[in-house]
Structures are given as C-alpha cells and as structure tokens.
Amino acid sequence: MDGNSIDRGSVNTDLQTAGTCATCGRPLTQCGPNGECLRCLVSLGFLADGHEPERPAARGRLTPGPLRYAHFEVEVGADGFPVELGAGAMAITYRARDTVLNSEVALKVIDRKVAQNPGARSRFLREARAAANIHHPNVAQVTYYGEQDGECFYAMELVKGETLEARVRRDGPMPLALALQVIEQAARALAVAEACGVVHRDIKPSNLMLESDASEALTVKVIDYGVSGESNGPSGGPWRRANSGGLYWHAGFRQSRAVR
C-alpha cells in the first residue's frame, strides 16, 4: 500500500468520526456554521419537504433536574430527568404544570441553538398562533407563548392518550367502525382550521392524538400546526406557505381549493 492510500484512509476515518449534529444528535461528516448536519440545515432553510427530522430517542436533556419556563414547571420522572412527551430536530415537548392555574399542560420548547436562527423563531411563533386561534374539540389548542434565556416555548392542551401511529403499531389495523370515527373527527378539525384560514399539509398518524374518556368514547386531537415562510398563492392573495410542519395560510375560505 502506498503513502497516498494511507493518507486517503486516514481522511476517511476522520470523516467517519467527525462528531454528532449539534441540533439533532445524528453522526455527521460535514456540518453547518452552528454544528448542524445537512438534514437540519435543509429543515431550517426554504425547502418545503413537509417533514421535520426526527430526533433520535436517546437525544434529549442530558442532565437531570427541574426545568421552569415562566410559570410552567416541567415534571420530573423517577429517574430525575424531565418527562418528555415527544422530540424532534427543532423542539422537545415536555409534560408540565401551570403553577398559576394548577393544571397539566404539554410544553413545547424550541432548542436554544435552533432559536438563534431568526427564521426558525418566526416559524415557531406562527405555529403557536395557528393552534391558538383554532377552537374545536378535535384540535389541541395553544394557550401561552413565551421566550426565556434564548429559548422559545408554548403551552398547549395536554392530550392524555397516544398517537394513531402508536396505536396501529401496537394493535394492528383498526376495526372499520373505529377507523371511520378517527377519519370523521380529523376531518372536522381540518374543516374548522380551513374556516380559520389554515390548511394543514402534514396530516399523518403521528399528528393525530387519540384519547378516551371513562366511557371509552374516542376523541381525536390534531396536533403539530408548524408553519413557515410566505408566498403568494395561485390567486395572488396573501398566502403563507408551509416549509416544515406543512400549512398554508390563506385569506379566503374558498382559496384552499386551489391548493394541491
């Protein structure tokens, strides 16, 4: 083996051990200006892929201890770590308590490094505003938005259940009658959102929460109203185009029919 081959092998080894993404924690060989992988750079850019990169399950708050955002206290599990309800490349959702109203909430907190990106902060705020202005039993509503120590967060209704994705993965296909209930309730949520000028473009099983009351009656809650960017729609009206999370805002109810 010649010296050039050895050098190329050394370079390859260095690339394979370049570290992990500062945003999502994935192994990387190339990184952006703030240590992001190429996938996270795309999600924070202007390409409308309709999907937020998932954060690996092991990625989260790395040190135990309490967390507090404004008057919201994040619950701590038996292991001493904050209780996470879900996590993505941009944010973590915690189980928390509103200390003023003494009620349980879901608290979504955008990663501090991501929050340094003005576009990401703006999209996160629009996401909160979208969900806060849709009032319907089948929509998880946002009740509070705040910023603290370089982090952005919002509190929303805590849905005590599981996603449709988790249900189907565990139990397999739903009975037809139950599946029709899920479809009907999700459609009602989308219809009322459309009436408010919002079109959800990322409906999927992981964005539908299922909960049951004491009588086992099923309630579906639509979540994840992430929005970003602005553009003119087909009619030239004031549209806002979705990048990550997938929404179109529009001025008129009927304009949504032009969206494909």
> Could you list the active site residues?
202
The overall longest dimension of the chain from CA atoms, in Å, is 75
Detail the DSSP E strand segments found in the chain: 67-69, 72-74, 84-87, 91-98, 103-110, 142-148, 151-157, 162-163, 198-200, 208-212, 218-222, 231-232, 238-241, 247-249
Return all residues near 108 (Cβ < 8 A) that are at least 6 apart: 91, 92, 93, 94, 153, 154, 156
C-alpha count within 13 angstroms, C-beta hemisphere, residue 112:
5
CA distance 128 to 233: 22
